[in-house]
């Protein structure tokens, strides 16, 4: 199988349920330029950061907290930029004050962040897996903010063995265009039940070359067991052990 968003999804996330019903996520980073590919996903505390290789300078558009989670309540946020922290703190507050985790909150935050200030006006994407305080069932929220358009933030309901996603781009390698938020969101059928299996699957189906070089940078897989709030995460990096 190939990536459902075509050869160049840019940054891409999926939220879903493993075949045995555990909440899960996947995050993919791809890049066309050498600078975009010189990154690595590193576990730091209760999260995963996309950071530079070696002593390269920090760039807020390329280096950010991609995943942040809370093992006391099962909350996780995944995104392609600086918005991760704000979304995480908002939905942690909603859980703690026992307010419903509506998609309108992430929509407001994404509108405030706007599209990235680069030449392609790269959209910001984000995903939230949380739950209501009195309900153990997971709540899945996906959002995107494209240039000159209101952000979309909506709840999705994946079935066991499926993941629902969104990406920054439609998939064209030569002329990347923003993902059309009016399109149906891509759905993956997955057999993997572990973070390793999910990360490797996303990485494997996304193989593509641009000007003779593999565009894949990093894939992240995460699974939370139904019976507790603990997230387990795995990264697959193009530049393994080079940070």
pLDDT over 90 at 57, yes or no: no
Q: 99 Cβ partners below 8 Å, 6+ apart?
A: none
Residues 7-11 have a mean pLDDT of 98
Which residue, among 161, 160, 167, has the nearest Cα to 143 in the 3D structure?
167
pLDDT, position 148: 92
Give CA 118 to chain center in angstroms: 20
Residues 118-143 have a mean pLDDT of 93
* pLDDT tens-digit readout, 153-202: 999 999 999 999 999 999 999 999 999 988 899 999 999 999 999 999 99
What's the length of the chain?
A: 243
Choose between 133 and 161: higher pLDDT.
Answer: 161
Angle between helices 83-96 and 103-113 (to 10 degrees): 150
- Segments making up each domain of the chain, as ranges: 11-237
pLDDT band at 243 (very low <50, low <70, confident <90, very high): very low
pLDDT over 80 at 90, yes or no: yes
Please tell me the CATH code under which domain 11-237 is placed.
3.60.20.20
Token pair 């193009």 is found at 238
CA terminus-to-terminus distance, the chain: 31
pLDDT band at 241 (very low <50, low <70, confident <90, very high): low
What is the spatial distance between Cα 222 and Cα 67, in angstroms, rounded to a whole number? 9
CA dihedral (51, 240, 7, 209) in degrees, to 10, reads 110
C-alpha angle 38/144/195, rounded to 5°? 55
What is the spatial distance between Cα 221 and Cα 215, in angstroms, rounded to a whole number? 18
What does pTM read for this prediction? 0.97
């Amino acid at each position: 199988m190939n990536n459902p968003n075509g050869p160049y999804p840019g940054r891409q996330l999926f939220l879903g349920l493993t075949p045995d019903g555990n909440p899960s996520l996947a995050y993919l980073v791809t890049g066309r330029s050498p600078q975009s590919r010189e990154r690595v996903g590193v576990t730091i505390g209760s999260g995963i950061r996309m950071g530079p290789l070696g002593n390269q300078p920090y760039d807020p558009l390329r280096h950010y907290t991609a995943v942040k989670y809370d093992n006391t309540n099962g909350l996780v946020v995944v995104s392609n930029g600086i918005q991760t922290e704000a979304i995480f703190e908002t939905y942690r507050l909603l859980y703690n004050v026992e307010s419903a985790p509506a998609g309108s909150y992430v929509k407001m935050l994404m509108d405030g962040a706007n599209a990235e200030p680069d030449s392609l006006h790269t959209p910001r994407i984000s995903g939230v897996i949380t739950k209501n305080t009195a309900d153990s069932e997971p709540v899945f929220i996906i959002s995107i903010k494209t240039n000159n358009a209101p952000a979309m933030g909506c709840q999705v309901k994946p079935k066991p063995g499926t993941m629902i996603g969104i990406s920054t781009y439609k998939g064209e390698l030569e002329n990347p265009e923003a993902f059309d938020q009016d399109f149906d969101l891509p759905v993956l059928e997955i057999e993997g039940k572990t973070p390793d299996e999910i990360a490797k699957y996303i990485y494997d189906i996304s193989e593509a070359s641009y000007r003779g070089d593999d565009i894949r940078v990093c894939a992240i897989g995460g699974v939370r067991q139904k019976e507790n709030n603990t997230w387990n995460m795995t990264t697959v990096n193009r530049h393994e052990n080079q940070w």
